Amino acid sequence: MIEHRNVFLSLFKKYIQNVLRVNFLKRNVTPISCALYVTRKCNFKCSYCIVRDNREYNLSLNETKRLLGLIREEIPSITITGGEPLLRRDIVEILREAERLRFYPISLFTNLSLIDRKLDVLNYINMLSTSLDSLNSKNDTIIGVKGATELIIRNIKKYSKLQKQKKFIMNINCVISKDNFDDVLDVARFAFANDCLLSIGIVVNNGIPQKELINNEKYIKVMDELIKLKKKRYPISNSLKYLKTIRDFKSFRCHPFLIPRILSNGLIGYPCNLQIQKTTNILDHESFKDVLAELENNHYFECSKSCYLGCYAMPSILIESPMVMIKEFMAFTAKIRSKT
């Protein structure tokens, strides 16, 4: 627990440094976390996914371990994702290495279809996240696999009961699109009933919201209800400011490199995957500081485009709002303590 507290303090320190960099020094942000795609292969076919590639090359276990070691030099927390990460036979070893390197928190994003075969992953994570956009067969259409929704729901109910025992938090991510306006609040109620966090995203194309969402009364009504739930302290992991931002599609300054995406071959792009100015392979470097030096090259990046991808928008909005971040940080740490 002391080690975890130290990593949390390191994470918070990085956040404060980035607030100073952005608001006073006009310098580039440095990463506070990252998303590592250990594979881009997937057994689902989600309609809005831009990551899935069943031909993509994956690093070996030893290469992945070296990659994790380099990342940990500068980044304290990590999300292991895909594709479907549980398709990797060595996913338990990868997570075990992440824990050994003292990443914290360690999040695993999975569609839960293979979790019964890989139960040991629960021993090495702090958050288990999955996607659920509807409770009915409409979700099967969205993810492209008949009968998958029933399996996901069953596994959410099953493994949410292990949160206290295994010391992890379960998070349900619901992506709002033109196809599921009527289902979002049902998913929210299901999440709360099963002691899960809820996170909200929206379907975007190259960072731009799906056109059917803009000025849509149904969408606005759903967002208003989610904002009310957040104000009532229901466990929604998005900040109130983020929810209000995506409700009205307000503009904001984007700082995407706060949480860079690292592909399954070790490639990292700067500043983000939507506006790549430079790429490099982390494994071609001796240290992560060298990676940052090559990518940034002392060039101050300022983006005028408001990208509504949650993994870019949420941390960017919090960097601009320090008091909001402190409040959310305290709430999240309290949630983790309640599970440990």
Q: Which helix (H) or strand (E) holds 141?
A: helix 138-143
Give me the residue label for tokens 């033109």: 178
pLDDT value at position 297?
65
pLDDT value at position 267?
94
Check residue 22 and report its DSSP letter: I
d(CA 291, CA 224): 42
Strand partners, 201: 175
**What is the pLDDT tens value at each position of the chain, 340 positions in all?**
445 566 667 777 888 888 888 777 777 888 999 999 999 889 888 877 777 776 667 899 999 999 999 999 999 999 999 999 999 999 999 999 999 999 999 999 999 999 999 999 999 999 999 999 999 988 888 888 899 999 999 999 999 999 999 999 999 999 999 999 999 999 999 999 999 999 999 998 877 899 999 999 999 999 999 999 999 999 999 999 999 999 999 988 888 889 999 999 999 998 887 778 889 999 999 999 999 988 876 566 667 667 788 888 888 888 877 776 667 666 666 665 565 5
**CA distances for 4 relative to 14, 24, 209, 270, 336, angstroms:** 15, 30, 37, 29, 11
d(CA 51, CA 60): 20
d(CA 85, CA 106): 14
Distance of alpha carbon 104 from its chain centroid, rounded? 14
The tokens of 336 are what?
């983790």
Contact yes or no for 262/80 (Cβ under 8 A): no
d(CA 114, CA 117): 6
- Reported as a single tens digit per residue, the pLDDT across 55-112 is 667 899 999 999 999 999 999 999 999 999 999 999 999 999 999 999 999 999 999 9
Q: Which helix (H) or strand (E) holds 137?
A: none
Domains in the chain, please, with CATH?
2-339 (3.20.20.70)
pLDDT value at position 252?
85
d(CA 5, CA 13): 12
For the CA atoms of 334, 115, 37, 287, the dihedral, rounded to the nearest 10 degrees, stands at 70
pLDDT value at position 2?
44
Considering the entire predicted model, what is its pTM? 0.91
d(CA 53, CA 39): 9
Characterize 34-59 residue by residue with b for buried, 16 or more Cβ atoms within 10 angstroms of its Cβ, and e for exposed: bbbbbbbbbbbebebbebbbeebebb
pLDDT value at position 296?
78
**CA distances for 314 relative to 14, 48, 224, 264, 317, angstroms:** 16, 19, 18, 24, 5
The tokens of 152 are what?
């996901």
**Helix, strand and coil in the chain, % to nearest 5:** 45, 15, 40
